[in-house]
Amino acid sequence: ETGVTQTPRHLVMGMTNKKSLKCEQHLGHNAMYWYKQSAKKPLELMFVYNFKEQTENNSVPSRFSPECPNSSHLFLHLHTLQPEDSALYLCASSQDDSGGSYEQYFGPGTRLTVT
Amino acid sequence: GQNIDQPTEMTATEGAIVQINCTYQTSGFNGLFWYQQHAGEAPTFLSYNVLDGLEEKGRFSSFLSRSKGYSYLLLKELQMKDSASYLCAVRDSNYQLIWGAGTKLIIKP
C-alpha cells in the first residue's frame, strides 16, 4: 500500500464509450501525474499537475482529458479511444514537481483494454 | 533525443549478487532514480543518486557516474522475492523524469 489508490483496477471499453479513471492520494502531496505503461516500453508521462495546476502535457491526444479538482484527486477522462490506447495507466504523486530527491509514489494502475 | 538504456532481462541465482546497468543521454541531469516493479503491481522507489558515488541501502546499492552517464543497481544476497522489473529514471533539466524500459530480473533457486 503506497498511499495512492486507483479505480477501477481493470476496464474494458469500446471505442465509442466514455469512461473515467480515478486516482486519490492520501500522502499530502502537491504534485500528481498520469503515466501510460505499455509492455516492454518506458513509462510515458502524460500529464503533470502541481498545486492543482497543469504544468505538463506531453503531446497527449485530446481523447485523453485530465481533471484535478484538488491536490488529492486526479481524474483521466477517456472518450473515443483507439485499440493502441490499451495499456496500464499509472497515477503517481510526489511532494511537488520542482526537483530534489522527492520520489514519486505510484498507484497500482488501471489495466485498460479498448475493443 | 533523450535516451535511457538498460538490459531487457537478466537471470541470477538465489543468494548471489547481480548488477543492473543503466546508461543515459538526457538534456541536463537533476538526479537518477531506481524503482522496483513486481508483475501487476505499482513501481516502488528504491534509491536516488545526484552526486557521483555509491549509495548503500541494506542489500541494495546504487552507483552514479555523471561524467560517464552511467549508473548501476547492485543487489546482494538475492532472494526469490527480488524477481521483478527494475526501472531506471533520470530527471532532466526540466525536472521531468525520463524512464528506461526496465530490466526484468529472474531469480532461480
Cα(B14)–Cα(B104) distance, rounded to whole angstroms? 15
Cα(A64)–Cα(A84) distance, rounded to whole angstroms? 13
Residues of chain A found within 8 Å of residue B89, distances taken between Cβ atoms: 43
| Strand, coil or helix: B84 | strand
Q: What is the mean pLDDT of residues B37-51?
A: 94
> Among all residues of chain B, which has the CA nearest to that of A94?
B45
Nearest to B48 among A56, A97, A101 (CB): A101
Q: Smallest CA–CA separation between B82 and chain A, in Å?
A: 18
What is the tens place of the pLDDT at every residue in B47-69?
A: 999 999 999 999 999 999 999 99
What is the tens place of the pLDDT at every residue in B7-17?
A: 999 999 999 99
Q: Which residues contact A39 (CB under 8 A, 6 or more apart)?
A: none
